[in-house]
Structure formats: C-alpha cells, structure tokens
Amino acid sequence: MKFQSNYYSKAYCCAAQVERQKGNVMGKKTMLLLLVGVLGAYYVHTPLPDNIEEPWRLIWLNTQLKIVTNLATFAELLGINHFMNTLMFYMNHQEVPPTSDENVTVMDTTFNNVPVRIYIPKQKSETLRRGLFYIHGGGWCLGSAGWFGYDFLSRQTVNRLDAVVISTNYRLAPKYHFPNQFEDVYNAVRWFLRQDVLDKYGVDPKRLGISGDSAGGNLAAAVTQQLIGDRDIKIKFKIQSLIYPALQTLDMDLPSYQENSHFPGLSKSLMVRFWSEYFTTDRSLENAMLFNQHVPVESSHLFQFVNWSSLLPEKFKKGHIYNSPTHGTSELAKKYPGFLDVRAAPLLADDSKLRSLPLTYVITCQNDVLRDDGIMYVTRLRNAGVRVTHNHIEDGFHGAISYLGFKIKHRIENQYISWLSENL
C-alpha cells in the first residue's frame, strides 16, 4: 500500500509539473502574441483620410520609415551614430551610377567645385534646348542627385521636354551647416548661368528654369531671390518651380503642422529636427523650435511675413485660432542667426524683392506639414504682382513625387512636367 501511495504521489507531482510547464509555455506564447500585436499596431496602424489613393502602399512605406527612424534614434541614444548619419546609411542604397541609355547621356562633373549630374538628350537638335537646374530634397541632411527617384525624374524631364537637366548636389548636415548648402547651390547656379557653359551644353539662355522639392524647393526659392541683386549675373531664370517647399523657420505651429503632425512621410518632430540640424547639432534649438519658443522679441517684426491668419485662404484655416507667438531668449538667435536669415527662410523676404521674381509654379499637398509654407508664399507672391500657378494636391502627401510605384507620384509628375512644357 505504501508503494502504491508513493507511486501515485509521484505520478501526481509529475502531472502537476507538466501542467505548470504547459501553463508557462501558454503564458509565454500569450505574452509573445501580445507583444507582436502591440508592435504591429504601433508600426502598421496609420489613420489616413478616406481620399488617400493606395492606402496600404502608404501604410507599408510608413512602417519602413518608422522602423528606420526608431533604429536611428536608438543608435543615437547609445552614442553609436548621429541620427542623420544612420538615416543616410540606410538610404544610400537608393544611389545609382550615372548611366546613359538610348535617349539620354548622363555624366557626373563639377560646377565651380560643386558636384552635379548632367542629363543631355542624345537626339540631335537644330535649335537650342531648354535648361532646368534641379535641387534635390532631404532636409539639408539627406539625399543626392543620384538617388533613384531623382534620377528617374530627371530622365523623364529630359525625355518629355527635350531639355538639358542639371541636377546638383550640395554639402549636407550634420557635418556642414547653413550657409554651406545655400552657397554650394548658389555657386553651381552661377556657373550654370555663364554663357560659355550654356553654349557648351546647347542651352537657350532665354529658356532657363530652376526647380526643387522640399529642402530643394527651399534652396531654389532662396537662390532665385539672391540672383535678383547679383549684378554679375546677366542671365536669369525664366521660371521657378517649387515642389512642397520648406520656406519659413519662425512658426512651427501652423495649421498644417497641427493637422499633419504625425502624417506618414514627414512628421512635425522630424521636420523640426531637419530645420535645427540645418543650423546646428545643438539640440537646444530643436527643443525650442518644437515648442515654438525660439524667436526673440527683437525679431518679432518678422512674423508679419508668416502670419497665417492673413496669408492663408479660409479653407486652410479650418477654425484654427491664431495665437501671438511666444518669444524665446536672444541667446539662440545670437548663436545661430541662420534661422532668421532670408537665405534660409525665403518667406522672410520683403515685397520689394518678391515682385522681381519670375513666373512661379508651386505644388502643395494637403497632408503635409509644409503645406502652409507653400500656400503663404503663393499669397505673398500674388500680392507682390508675381504670376503664380498653384497646384494643390488634395490627396497628396510629402515626398509623393519621389515614391516610385505610387499612382499619385506619376500624376504629380505629369502635372509638373506639363507645366514646364507650357511655360519653360
């Protein structure tokens, strides 16, 4: 009887141990599934407006961007690498070499020591061609004329317009800060606008345009303004084309920043990081900009140039209430005066400069923190008497013209090149 009692006692203990092990396994599986669910919800769940075309394609793109930016943030917290350098490392796979095809000759060279990529139609022409100077985006920290999306856009422009395209590079933050980016582009533009250079590439000096997207749109606008007072440059641009440009540093709380603070492609926090890195790696400027407390009281007169309550049409205000800015200390402005420089923030130009600008095309996207920058510039240019075509994309979002495979990319690209075809 004692033997049977011990036997059953051991059997019961073994059974109980097995049940506990099963319970532990089930608990671990539950925790794992819960963790996967939470991570999946964080990375995949992306609320989008109903009019967004191909929403799942945008959600997948946003998932990738979230993963990369989180890895970059983690690497920076550990002191392994600067946030922007990690992003650039990931994005370098987009770089393509200068490869000619049956329609276009492509070559890398330098204009006044600035690297540029030139696209020239192979077909012989009996007349001089149009010329377009293009500046890539990337928040002054990322990007290259050789990125696949920009290379594709340049080839499309050449093929459809029979034009020569100069796609420029420039030094990038965090290694280089303002005004290096501006000066690189300006020096390359000055070289391009020389008569002997235009003759070399068969470009008509009366049919020249400048264009850029995002930070490239910022540089295009700033360079075009600077050329107005440059008496050494006799040849000027006929048109400027700005694709969702970043144009002001004063107000990081515009309606578009509020409405699209977490929208895929470009969040408010990332745009503020791009702006601050343009001027310094000192994170105190970023923090002040994020809370809209970076402009000193002695510079408060500049807010008249970016006052959205008077510069935005009613449909873009959407019941937002304009609040007077909260001024910051003078210390940041003294250390980093670039963020109050018109060469960094073209919206700060006065009307006397704006009225001399050429025919302008501005693309803005509804779901973009930079939407209101572009719209306010359109208003100010029109008020100054400049002829402007404003193409507002109701279902658009930042970076759309660079995302190959998206239907909206081809739609915006077609509208952009069609405008150039008619006006350049």
How far CA 179 is from CA of 270, 294, 337, in Å, comes to 21, 19, 11
Helix/strand/coil for 118: strand
Beta strands in 136-190 (DSSP E): 164-168
CA-CA distance, 147 to 298, in Å (whole number)?
Answer: 42
What secondary structure does DSSP assign to 187-221, as a single string?
HHHHHHTSHHHHHHTTEEEEEEEEEEETHHHHHHH
Helix/strand/coil for 68: helix
Residues 6+ apart with CB under 8 A from 20: none
Strand 114-121 vs strand 104-111: parallel, antiparallel, or unpaired? Answer: antiparallel
State both tokens at 299.
């510079």
C-beta atoms surrounding 98 within 10 Å: 15
Tokens 């850029």 found at: 212
C-beta atoms surrounding 46 within 10 Å: 18
State both tokens at 20.
């506990």
Say if residue 167 is exposed, middle or buried (CB neighbours under 10 Å; 0-12, 13-18, 19+).
Answer: buried
Residue 356 among the catalytic residues: no
Closest listed residue to residue 292, CA positions, set 260, 344, 248: 248
Strand 388-397 vs strand 359-367: parallel, antiparallel, or unpaired? Answer: parallel
Residue 82 among the catalytic residues: no
Of 368, 372, 373, 402, the catalytic one is 368
Q: Is residue 115 reached through a cis peptide bond, with omega within 30 degrees of 0 on the bond before it?
A: no
Of 154, 211, 214, 299, the catalytic one is 214
State both tokens at 195.
């008569």
Sheet of 114-121, strand order: 104-111, 114-121, 164-168, 129-135, 203-213, 239-243, 359-367, 388-397
Rounded-to-10 torsion of CA 301, 362, 198, 189 = 30
Give the residues across from 104 on adjacent strands.
121
Residue 398 among the catalytic residues: yes
CA angle 156, 157, 162 (to 5 degrees): 110
Give the residues across from 165 on adjacent strands.
119, 132
- Residues annotated as catalytic (active site), given as ranges: 214, 368, 398
